[in-house]
Chains A and B, each alone.
Chain A
Amino acid sequence: MSVLASLRNVTVHFPIYSLGNRSLKRRVLDITTGGRISQGRNNLVVIEAISDLTLELKDGDRVGILGHNGAGKTTLLRVLSGVYEPSYGHISVYGKTAALFDLVMGMEGEATGHENIVLRGLFNGMSLNEIKQFAPSIAEFSGLGDYLQMPLRTYSSGMVLRLAFSIATCKQPEIILLDEWISTLDEEFIQKAKKRLSELAEKSKVLVMASHQIDLLKSLCNKAIFMEHGKLIAFGPIDEILAKYMPSKT
């Protein structure tokens, strides 16, 4: 079984800049007043969102991330997607990754549906040729028909999400990262979306998702990570992890 992603001793520090730390004037004053510079530096509050995490994801892993709010679930997904690079440690990802976080990001209200397909496709790393090739199937799946000729601002939020979802899921990725199930879709579309996501998840090599919906995790995942205060407490078969760490929810 091949390794799709490996994290070695990954630590993520979030510096919390207060106004003082952000100010060059403060920095300069610190230097001129002497001695205070070290104090100024120590005043920088650092949050350890992920600490010393080692993890290996192999072909076939469907991993649910469990943990309380602030346990580092979202940060771990952001590290896997490459948004946040580790402060210490190393990460290697060996597969095309689709990060389904904020699907609507980068879409332009003034541009038409068709233009947004191009725009969002480019964000997702598709080439112009690929976008051309996939555009008809995206349009069809979205079910928006002639609305695609209209500017996005005339759409309802459900329609925007439909289009965004269709673009984001038009290509089969090797690794899928999901932050909470996309639940704000309209009823009619949600069945279609669920079906496509399950299909994509099935054909993908690795799926990592964070969700509070235990039933959903159980239906999609075969493994689970339990996190607490940024630390990986346990990684193993989902049933075992649930029984051991979240007995109240099983």
Chain B
Amino acid sequence: MLAAMTDTTLIPAKTSPAFYQASGGPSTAAAQRDIIETFQRAPLWLTMAWQDIKLRYRGSVIGPFWLSISMGIMIVAMGIVYSHLLKTEAHEYFPFLTLGLMQWSLMSTLMQDACTTFAHSASFIKQIRLPYTTYAMRTLTRHMIIYAHNFVVYIVVAIIFGIWPGVYLVLLIPSLALLLWNALWMIMFLGMLCARFRDITPIITSLVQVVFFVTPVIWSPSLLDAHIWIVWINPFYHFLELMRAPLLGHAPSIWSYVYAFVTGIIGSTVTFMLFRRFRARIAYWV
């Protein structure tokens, strides 16, 4: 490659391949390269995410399963109280609650960590050139590892209450794909926004707490009767339903798929526009 280069004073930027090049201002090509390079270097963020988990549970014998245990305790406690409060049968309510809390804990912690994705990676960003999407994938992978550990709780509950979703498990594939896709753009979006405006992080944290009460995590949406639209406009409900319904053994509404798909299209388009415009500025923000 170097031999092909000539002795001209300035090499035209577009004709000869460079290991690295950058110009001031927005660049679609650089943004695309960032994403592609991230996936080519998957072992990097997979290792980083795994190290995050290991670091958090160092010295602990059962490691991340502490999370599963605490979730299990919460489910037992809440399940007993709320199945009475909501006058639901325990065998119906416990699996519903388990999946709701599992899913909610994934979505809420992901939202909060998304905000600090770039801000907390400042020491890396200022020292080494890595594709920025790497940091988002690290956050996403970390949360999916925790989710996988929590999944054990569902398996236990499913065995106790004799739930076997059967063929509906296949529906988890599109659900998971939609979830990961939307999670990725959201991490990138919030990561950039919070790196630039530092007071968004506490706003998101409080928002997430409020959303918990209006999202059918611990109560069934059918209780709303005519006011079901409250749930329908809530994006958290749709992602919750996409993951919960197949595991309970029935299909989510087709509209939840449509909702998640449309959200994905709009969200990733807006995020990509922002990313191509501000990618090069992230290093200056953090």
Contacts and interface: CB of A to CB of B under 8 A. Distances in A.
Interface stretch (A91-99, A218-226, A229-237, A239-247): A91-99
A87 B24 contact: yes
Contact of B200 (A24, A87, A105): A24
Nearest to A115: B51
Interface stretch (B8-16, B145-153, B207-215, B260-268): B8-16
A106 B198 contact: no
Interface stretch (B41-49, B92-100, B178-186): B41-49
Interface stretch (B102-110, B118-126, B169-177): B118-126
B284 A82 contact: no
A23 B128 CA distance: 28
Contacts of A102: 127
Given A2-B5, A84-B284, A122 B19 contact: no
Given A92-B11, A105-B128, 9 more contacts: A2-B7, A3-B5, A22-B198, A83-B129, A87-B24, A90-B22, A94-B1, A96-B19, A110-B51
A15 interface: yes
B54 A110 contact: yes
Contact of A95 (B10, B16, B19, B58): B19
7 contacts: A3-B11, A83-B283, A90-B23, A90-B24, A91-B23, A105-B128, A111-B51
Given A92-B11, A94-B2, A22 B19 contact: no
B20 interface: yes
Interface of B: 1-3, 5, 7, 9-11, 13, 16, 18-25, 41, 43-44, 47-48, 51, 54-55, 58, 123-130, 196-200, 203, 280, 283-285
A118 interface: yes
A105 B129 CA distance: 12
Contacts of B11: 3, 6, 92, 94
B74 to A, nearest CB: 28
A102 B125 CA distance: 12
A27 B197 contact: yes
Contacts of B196: 22
Given A22-B197, A88-B24, A93 B128 contact: no
Nearest to A105: B127
A15 B199 CA distance: 18
B47 A99 contact: no
A161 B199 CA distance: 37
A174 B5 CA distance: 15
A83 B283 CA distance: 7
Contacts of B203: 24
Nearest to B52: A108
A85 B44 CA distance: 22
Contact of A84 (B41, B55, B283): B283
A86 interface: yes
Interface string A1-38: 11100101001011101000011110100000000000
A80 B265 CA distance: 36
Contacts of A105: 123-124, 127-128
B284 A95 contact: no
Interface in A103-139: 105-106, 108, 110-111, 118-119, 122-123, 125, 127-128
Given A111-B54, A125-B41, A97 B128 contact: no
A123 B24 contact: no
A95 B2 contact: yes
A89 interface: yes
A189 interface: no
B127 A122 contact: no
Contacts of A56: 9-10
A86 B24 contact: yes
A84 B13 CA distance: 19
A101 interface: yes
A213 to B, nearest CB: 22
A24 B19 CA distance: 37
B24 A11 contact: yes
Contact of A110 (B13, B20, B58): B58
A25 B199 contact: yes
A83 B126 contact: yes
B127 A101 contact: yes
Given A110-B54, A119-B47, A85 B22 contact: yes
Contacts of A211: none
Contacts of B21: 90-93
Nearest to A4: B2
Interface string A50-72: 00000010000000000000000
